[in-house]
Amino acid sequence: MSIKVYVPPIKSQGIKTKLVPWIKSIVPNDFDGLWIEPFMGTGAVAFNVAPQHSLLSDTNPHLINFYSSVASGEITTEVVKDYLTREGALLLEKGEDHYYFIRDRFNAEHSPLDFLFVNRAGFNGMIRFNRKGGFNIPFCRKPQRFAQAYVTKIVNQVDWASKIIKAKHLSFKCQDFTKTIGEASSQDIIYCDPPYIDRHVDYYNGWDESHERELFNKLSEFKGKFILSTWHHNDYRENEYIKTLWSKYNVITREHFYHLGGKEENRNPVVEALVTNFLVAPVEKIIERPIQYTLFEQPAKYVTA
């Protein structure tokens, strides 16, 4: 089985690109309601999975601002190409000093183009902010980062995202997950990809046990269908919240590699979990089989074994 999976222009650690076929496989075929994501992140899942109408929200205003600017036409492929070509040339000439100049400018002015720049030139594709809301990821130490081929790749990703936003009628809101869930109806599907409790600490507003329990309570009150992404266990420990909270629902798992560190020894497998409040059709048990992914350039394909 071969499924096309496209990569969005914004990068982050923990991105769900390689898990898209799995998530997509459990969405009911007859679903025609609103697809809602209270934690849209990079948009990878929604852009690949969502049906014709979607509401995507996040508390990170820079993610929302970037995609809203794409939706409005403020950010186009031509604008991105000119911007990255210009700033990339300055980065090659001045080195990391120019990266920190752009980072400072972004933290002062919050330009969505500057956000794209620091996101793609920062270390290891990380998105992290300090307590004052300042982007604080260091430079990736690659002055040649925005070579022509890389700029073209990003431009193609922006072009694809723009077309998906228009075709699938995606709307964006910067707001708390509790408000987004509160706006959903029983005909909708909520897909939640919150920061992984006890694993991901770089969420824009932080994430701890109180947030995890509040999310559990809100989804438990929801009358429609929901899908939750979380981690189940790794070689060292288990996600205790699977047992204490989420085990009352359907939990399906799959092993997945996350590249969460600059060193190879930090790149370890984790068993992913999808939690749902509806039964997954038996035919979808294929998701329990190991999957081998082969990534191609845009457009990308992941090929399942």
Tens digits of per-residue pLDDT, 5-47?
999 999 988 788 889 999 999 999 889 899 999 999 999 999 9
Query: Which among 9, 106, 62 has a CA at the least distance from the CA of 205?
Result: 62
Which tens digits make up the pLDDT trace of 206-217?
789 999 999 999
Which tens digits make up the pLDDT trace of 58-94?
999 999 999 999 999 999 999 999 999 999 999 999 9
Question: Is residue 277 classed exposed, middle or buried when 0-12, 13-18 and 19+ CB atoms within 10 A define those classes?
Answer: middle
At 28, list the tokens.
Answer: 């009911």
CATH class (in words) of the domain with range 72-158 = mainly alpha
Question: CB-hemisphere CA count at 13 Å for 39?
Answer: 21
What average pLDDT does the structure give for the chain?
Answer: 87
At 184, list the tokens.
Answer: 């959903």
CATH class (in words) of the domain with range 2-59+175-303 = alpha beta
Residue intervals of the chain classified under CATH 1.10.1020.10 are 72-158
At 252, list the tokens.
Answer: 């399906």
Can you tell me the distance from the alpha carbon of 118 to that of 226, in angstroms, rounded to the nearest whole number?
A: 33
The radius of gyration of the chain from alpha carbons, rounded to an integer in Å, stands at: 19
Identify the band that residue 265 occupies on the pLDDT scale cut at 50, 70 and 90.
very low
Angle between helices 77-94 and 148-167 (to 10 degrees): 150
Can you tell me the distance from the alpha carbon of 170 to that of 56, in angstroms, rounded to the nearest whole number?
A: 7
Residue intervals of the chain classified under CATH 3.40.50.150 are 2-59+175-303
Is residue 95 predicted with pLDDT exceeding 90?
yes
